[in-house]
Structure 1
């Protein structure tokens, strides 16, 4: 019996890995370099007027933005393996339109954006950067999305909703070691134990494929990762579904923001531009196109409260 179980697990693992490596276009997202459905915006004179008179863009007439192509739907390389596309690049284009500028995207490794921004290589970073109190010491922020983690389960799971700690009591949850979501779930676990509820069982795997195999095989009940990543996986594989979201700043909201050099004066103009996009409906169209409407903000703020130092 043990041999049969191991054999079945091996076959399931190989099948899953082959499926995960299939073309991303199957996910129903437009990953073409041309992006015919890209949403564009008109000039926003209020935002343009808010740009400080002495502010110098890296390249005159252009809004130079760093983005890390970490994966869809936020930012990735198109099917030509050269053009950067996704929700963040499209939003950057709309902001550039609002400012009356052309967009210059600069693909960077995530670890490199702070030094590049500080040294003046680009005007802003639009790459899923979360607002934290520590980062606010060096950078200014204009919020444009909620920072969310997602609770996802197998499509046929009996679990329908996870909104608060007691909803997760007794569940086997896959989470990344050392992540913010792990920190929050450990607090949830403490609350549940104090309330006499069953503890959470946190599980850790080396990679995404192993995590999804564990979920598919029934060895885990729930997977928790950044929401956008799981949205794409759910669309690609059609084997998991969302049953809840978790703020990165739980129990408070935590925002993702355009990041600019501290004191550059550009943040207020970018906040005004984002609010203009929200008012015009362009903002919601961009999020809808990339299936991220759950991450929408009602309004952009300059330097909103960020995650505290831990």
Structure 2
């Protein structure tokens, strides 16, 4: 797609304004396509191994269709397109590629985040692809096929003096905004304790109720850093150009925490979906899909069925 068409799509999606164009603030490669037609979607070939691994007694919700629940929480993972009804984003694209690998059509079912567990158990859909992290508690009820790392991102104002945050000492003395009772808070409290034990300045946590409030606090200079799921902030940084990433953090720190397709426990479908994902990785479709939504850093080297998850609290 040429630059003119990309700019046109960006304006239609509300991601670009004429004043920004005048200053060249948004590069073409940073534009996310939120149009309903999605001409740049990555498609995949059938994977005979994955198809053969589908249990003979598994009954799909609709014959010939892979029915997937997804929660449109926001770009770039899943959101409503400019027509306000089509769900687009990295997770819908991934669901489509998996459906292609299985030789099925895709049926997306938008659901509220809180509703997916009951809907999956009751058989309303075949799988959930909606940024679901693997945890030991969830593994008691569901099977998982991993497809992306769970990353949090450290972002600062574009003109900030903070250059890099990779470990606790890098955040010593900084003021960081987080949500209360979140995984980010859990990790940063451990970082703060480590810094205090090492004789460094403690991290100062400030709590804000939602993303909008956290971003206002950052842009107003009331905090130095915002930390929350990386994908959300990567989208905002590409769109607004006034914040930048200075580091990432595994959601399972100090271990890695992965995002996975969730399926009913014991249904037998997980192994087929793991094979399908590994097929996408080998073919290059997986890398192209993540790159399309600027999520290349969240790539996994391979998919696994039911790997270790976050421990029970």
Q: Is TM more than 0.5 here?
A: yes
Q: Cα gap change, 1:289/1:59 in structure 2, threshold over 3 Å: closer, same or farther?
A: same
Q: Cα gap change, 1:102/1:23 in structure 2, threshold over 3 Å: closer, same or farther?
A: closer
Aligned pair partner of 2:88 in 65, 85, 89? 85
Contact 2:79 2:88 in 1 (8 A): yes
Structure 1 residue runs of 4+, over 4 Å off? none
Cα RMSD after superposing both structures: 1.1
Aligned length: 289
Contact 1:24 1:236 in 2 (8 A): no
Which residue is equivalent to 2:50?
47
Which residue is equivalent to 2:171?
168
Contact 2:180 2:209 in 1 (8 A): no
Contact 2:179 2:210 in 1 (8 A): no
Deviation, 1:207, is 2.8
Aligned pair partner of 1:254 in 225, 234, 257? 257
Deviation, 1:216, is 1.4
Q: Cα gap change, 1:252/1:24 in structure 2, threshold over 3 Å: closer, same or farther?
A: farther
CA distance in 2, matches of 1:154, 1:252: 28
Deviation, 1:160, is 1.1
Deviation, 1:236, is 1.4
Aligned pair partner of 2:110 in 107, 119, 140? 107
Deviation, 1:111, is 0.3
Which residue is equivalent to 2:142?
139
Structure 2: gaps (5+ residues): 1-11, 17-29
CA distance in 1, matches of 2:295, 2:215: 21
Contact 2:13 2:35 in 1 (8 A): no
Deviation, 1:208, is 2.3
Give the secondary structure class of the aligned counterpart of 2:156.
Answer: strand
Deviation, 1:213, is 2.0
The range that moved more, 201-210 or 34-43, is: 201-210
Aligned pair partner of 1:197 in 200, 204, 210? 200
TM-score, length basis structure 1: 0.92
TM-score, length basis structure 2: 0.91
CA distance in 2, matches of 1:81, 1:108: 15
CA distance in 2, matches of 1:258, 1:153: 31
Which residue is equivalent to 1:177?
180
CA deviations on 1:46-85 (whole Å, 9 max, x unpaired) are: 1001111111111010000000001000000000000000
